[in-house]
Chains A and B, each alone.
Chain A
Amino acid sequence: MAPNSPPKLSLFQVLACGALIVTLSMGVRHGFGLWLQPITQAQGWTRENFAFAMGIQNLAWGIAGIGAGMLADRFGAFKVLVGGGALYALGLVGMALSTNTLVFTLTSGVVIGLAQSGTTYAVIYGVIGRQVDPAKRSWAMGTAAAAGAFGQFLMVPVEGFLIASMGWQQALLVLAAATLLIGPLALGLREPGFAGGATPVREQTVAQALREAMRYPSFILLVAGYFVCGFQVVFIGVHMPSFLKDKGLSPEVASYALALIGLFNVVGTYIAGALGQKLAKRKILAFIYFARSVVITVFLWAPLSPMSVYLFSAVMGLLWLSTVPPTSATVAQIFGVSHLSMLGGIAFFNHQLGSFMGVWLGGYLYDHTGSYDLVWYIAIALGVVAAGLNLPVREAPIVRKPMGAALATGQAA
């Protein structure tokens, strides 16, 4: 360790607190679909009202993620997490008590979207990047992402139980109380380098870091691949139940399929992070995207049955969030960790754009063609393209000019 570098947090502390925070933040939002029916029935709203607020939430999460990442890199993740946890609770209380659609959209859409941007992967990965030795970084990111995947898997039945046992409004208030735990958990991620309002000396300004990333072809390739990840995952997650219904399969098959995706997602995400420590991350990413295309092709080609759906769900689950650890670890490896949360936020913003396209195009093309065939083919083609985009990514750390030369170049420009 360099003589002037601040002491680091323990690996266990970072992983335990980071994992619990993303379990909560990713888990709570994952079950929001369960409130569609009770809220729209109780308030007399349409499904479109509910869906619009959820769409705003996803956009707010993606857009605010860049700003939350900048704040976390500048002032430390702790303050952003505390603020994010408080916003999460506020948004959930607002979601429970809103009596008109405007307030519902502002609270469950904008406020919870902002909260997610401050409590999910980009912010936590900034701490992991700074506090965990590079030799264990990809594994640690995989562990944190697996915790988020577990949160998604866990919270659907938990939230279903809460709604059934105490009603939808009280269930939301219980979740609001649970998200307040993010604040105390964030104490475990208070980095020594940011103690007492101090800010670590950084090699680049935010503008320089942004300019460097945007002009670096490998970052653009990674981010383009991430767009495809969002497209495929959210298209399948949202539209597969409808696809199965059209094919005459029972509702139970769709529910088992979602459970299998959730279960294998945890396993696949952890494996991807651990493999990133041993193999080239660009090859892992290329494999994941290509494998998704192969799996979708086989699923469409094979005779459809409950068993084929379960097999597809299990394998697709293994490939679900497994892109997250290698993508983030590659960004950290190329650019360093000073602006990791911000750069992670940019990558995630593109993931959300892909998610939006997957949901919207799925519905649009279904309405215009009467089937999901065309969107499935697009998902297959995009997977092959994303695999091709990730293969030429250069993972080696970027070589920068010395500080003085860089400043001189910047001034000249």
Chain B
Amino acid sequence: MYRNLCLTLLAGIVVLNCRTASAQHSHVQSASDGGVQLSVVTDGSKTPDQIPDDLAYQHFFMATAAHQPPTAGEQARQAVQLFHLQLSSADQQTLIQGLAKFRAQLDQIENALGQLAKLSTDPATPVQIAGLRQQEVSLSSATLSSLRQTMTQDGAARLDGYVRTHVKAHIVILGGPM
């Protein structure tokens, strides 16, 4: 009985700790609809150096990747996105192929995350989600490494310049502690 009482108290601490932290946080605000409105803690248009390169590439790959074969909508959207990189046709084709592989693997990870979302009360779920999120980061890194090996030096430099100067300026990081 004492053991159960202790465990109950410990669980209570967790909840209290969680709720107290929630009340003390400084970077989030209650939204009018009762949800938490996350604030911008890093604005890439003002401090692009605070946006990590790997994060910027992950966003860029997600935005530009299309399935193989792409739908008409994906193809049109991708053409618009890649147009301003001014890559050679060979480099652009290499990039498109690399992005298609990225998309296929990203879909698998996102599907797995979707399945886990249905198990949100399972204590093991947060650990599994963290693992899958790490897989996404690794996938992005692997895609970048592969592109740097297969694109020309000029193409890789153009891509890098675009991501560092343009993409970062369009990223914000939201959040803060709870």
Do A and B truly interact? no
State the A residues within 8 Å of B (CB).
none
State the B residues within 8 Å of A (CB).
none
